[in-house]
Amino acid sequence: MTTESWPLWQKVAAVAVVLGVSAGGLWLVVSALFPPRPAPMTAEEFQSAFRKADAEDRENWEKMWRAAGKTPPPE
């Protein structure tokens, strides 16, 4: 079946559908590759998160040395 016998409005509609589906697919690909970025933290939030992570690291450092049966080196 060829499109030569189709009326003009059907040809335009077919092209519009193809372009619409292509645009939707492109939108999905781009949104998957470049997701929205979270808002940056304030200075207070950053310091709080850093202190919490540092405390957890120090605690795990101590646990690691105790599990090995040794005393941690002095800081």
Of how many residues is the chain composed? 75
Please give the backbone phi and psi of residue 32, each rounded to the nearest 5 degrees, phi first: -75, -35
Same domain, 25 and 49: no
Question: pLDDT per residue over 30-66, tens digit each?
Answer: 999 999 999 999 999 999 999 999 999 999 999 999 9
Same domain, 47 and 29: no
Same domain, 24 and 45: no
Same domain, 28 and 45: no
Instruction: Name the residue range of residue 49's domain.
Output: 40-75
Count of other CB atoms within 10 angstroms of residue 35: 7
According to DSSP H, which parts of the chain are helical?
A: 8-33, 43-67
Residue 25, Cβ density class (10 Å: 0-12 exposed, 13-18 middle, ≥19 buried):
exposed
- Give the pTM: 0.47
Q: How many domains does the chain have?
A: 2
Same domain, 23 and 48: no
